[in-house]
Amino acid sequence: METLLLWLFYISTLYAFIPGMISRMFGFRVFRKGRTQRQIALTFDDGPDPLYTPQLLDLLKQFDAKATFFVVGSNAERYPEIIKRIHEEGHQIGIHNYVHKTNWLMRPAMVKKQIAQTDHIIHQITGERTYFYRPPWGIVNLFDFSKKNDTQIVLWSSMFGDWRYRVGTERLTRRMLKKLSPGEIFLLHDCGATLGANRDAPSHMLEALEHVLHEASKRGLRSIRIDEMIELSNPGNLARLDEAWKSRHKVPILPWYKKVLVFLWLVWEKIFHLVFHLETTNEEDPIFHFRSRSYQGEAVVMQGGARLEKGDRVLELHFDNKKLFEIGSRSKSTVQLAIQMIRGVEKTLPELAAYIRNHPELGKIKALYGVSMLNRGPEQFGFTVADLPKGFFALSSQLYLKLLMRVIHPGGNQHVRRHAEQLVPKLIVMPTDLLLSRFADKGSHRPIANHVNDPEGLEATIPC
């Protein structure tokens, strides 16, 4: 009997205790603290919770802070609308097992099943998969280290006992302020329903966090997602993990008919550019191509009250088809596609403003003009969205853009069929004066991508 107990002790030590100590003390194959200048990472475990997580999201939005939520799969399954909101508001979602059970007490196959099950739930709700993982109580086992191509284990640099109600707001605030410095990863909890926690403890956490976010703002510190923290701390590491994950999970290859469509599409674009003498602000990495022409549509009232009338000069925008396809093929979901497009537009609008200023012959340009299959995205940049007059142009634009979405969208035909009623081409216009005032001085402009509350709303923002 003693021999059996001794063997059990040796096995448990090798399986769980030693790996746990190595990860905590030396950071072996885990990410536990960043190396940043002005950033911290707020992370929240055990949720979502129907009472406290929405309050937390409201607080984060108030301070324009981004966070990472390590969710329990069974809770995510129970409250999908909260998961969807977390995702749509730009926060990161990670895995905290399907049930809140320590990895020390589970076989490797069971841990793998817990992770896969939770990932599947997140994907069903958001359309995105995640490889960020925090084991409950931060306890890893020997086989967790072997999943380096499947998961990025994320621990923390600071925890505060916020799961205990008796800690109280004042003591919790002092503890958090003491650790408020660049690179810190805060471990907090938006749910008090797990073993060892107090149900109402998150109420004190929310009060303390509000004080901490106020102080962080005074010090010029901001909270970012874990993926951003990793990239800032170890440039290239996230890209390598992403490539390893893709190769392991076999990203689908385009079928032959899509390859033919893409080839013909890109040939047509070259011909179109030659015939209509389109220009760009960046030959090496173009986002938009454009040409000056007279506006021939109905009058449109733009932001600021200016009217675009028939005969006014406009700069007609066309999204670069090759760039559009590259973004679509790299994106694993609608939201990734949207975010990449947001960044591309955000980068190009200051270039367009500088181009207009440096070309006096464009001084009579009254507005930027384009046709887009969109929901709510362009208003974030200052565009006005209007319906196209019914007729041949509107119908042909709709057919073309639906074909385009089938080729470049991660969801392909399935997405087009599911959202057919939303895929309606719209007119988008922005006054040149607004473009110049908002984007000509790039140094004073805060990135729009940080303020987009609904990235999925840009999923079809594709000027043709």
Name the β-bridge partners of 373: 425
User: For the purposes of burial, counting CB atoms within 10 Å of the CB of 393, is it exposed (0-12), middle (13-18) or buried (19 or more)?
Assistant: middle
The catalytic residue among 45, 49, 144, 312 is 45
Q: Nearest-CA neighbor of 35 among 222, 220, 187, 181?
A: 181
Residue 193 CB partners (closer than 8 Å, separation 6+): 46, 49, 199
Decide if 389 contacts 297 (C-beta within 8 A): yes
Among residues 189, 204, 409, 415, the one annotated as catalytic is 189
Is 45 an annotated catalytic residue?
yes
Which residue matches tokens 């380096």? Answer: 148
Which 3-state string (H, E, C) describes 389-420? Answer: CCCHHHHHHHHHHHHHHHHHCCCHHHHHHHCH
Q: Is 249 annotated in the active site?
A: no
Calculate helix-pair angle for 201-219, 52-62, nearest 10 degrees.
Answer: 10
Q: Give CA–CA dist 345/378, Å, rounded.
A: 10
The 3 state secondary structure assigned to the chain is CHHHHHHHHHHHHHHHHHHHHHHHHHCCCEECCCCCCCEEEEEEECCCCCCHHHHHHHHHHHCCCCEEEEECHHHHHHCHHHHHHHHHCCCEEEECCCCCCCHHHCCHHHHHHHHHHHHHHHHHHHCCCCCEECCHHHCCCHHHHHCCCCCEEECCCEECCCCCHHHHHHHHHHHHHHCCCCCCEEEEECCCCCCCCCCCHHHHHHHHHHHHHHHHHHHCCEECCHHHHHHHHCCCHHHHHHHHHHHHCCCCCCCHHHHHHHHHHHHHHHHHHHHHCCECCCCCCCCEEEEEEECCCCCEECCCCCEECCCCEEEEEEECHHHHHHHHHHCCCHHHHHHHHHHHHHHHHHHHHHHHHHCHHHCCEEEEEEEEECCCHHHHHCCEEEECCCCHHHHHHHHHHHHHHHHHCCCHHHHHHHCHHHCCEEEEEEEHHHHHHHHCCHHHCCCHHHHCCCHHHHCCCCCC
**Residues acting as catalytic residues:** 45, 189
